[in-house]
Amino acid sequence: MVISNASLSAPVITQIIWQPPPLHWVKRNSDGASKGNPNPSACGGIFKDNQVNDLGCFASNLGVSDAFSHELFGAITTIEIAQRRGWNQLWLECDFKHATLTFKSQLAIPWKLRNRWSNCLFL
């Protein structure tokens, strides 16, 4: 089998500089991980204020899931935690663009998360 050199190019590396949220805001950074797509997955997040103080964190074992679902689950969990704690100014940051697009269209929401997602939109 012949492998072309074009398929062996290095990935593009982009430097990201973390920015704290504005005064009276809470920022949540999260990530998900899985051993395949779909396969056993988990997600977690951390909450910080404008002084970069830790306000809390969460981690969830999601069982068999795909990348979109575990990123969306992280966003839903974040909104639920923020509502319970009275954090009304929330900056949600994740690395999966498709998950952020669900705020504009609910058509892609997996059925098992639709009810929780609808509740989050209400919050």
Helix (H, G, I), strand (E, B) or coil at 1: coil
Name the fold adopted by 26-121: Nucleotidyltransferase; domain 5 (3.30.420)
User: Mind listing the pLDDT tens digit for each residue in 29-86?
Assistant: 888 777 777 788 888 999 999 999 999 999 999 888 887 788 888 888 998 999 999 9
Give dist(CA 114, CA 119) in Å, integer: 9
Beta partners for residue 115, in sequence order: none
* DSSP β-ladder status, 90-93 and 26-34: parallel
List, as one string, the DSSP characters of 16-64: ----PPPTT-EEEEEEEEESSSSEEEEEEEEEE-TT--EEEEEEEEEEE
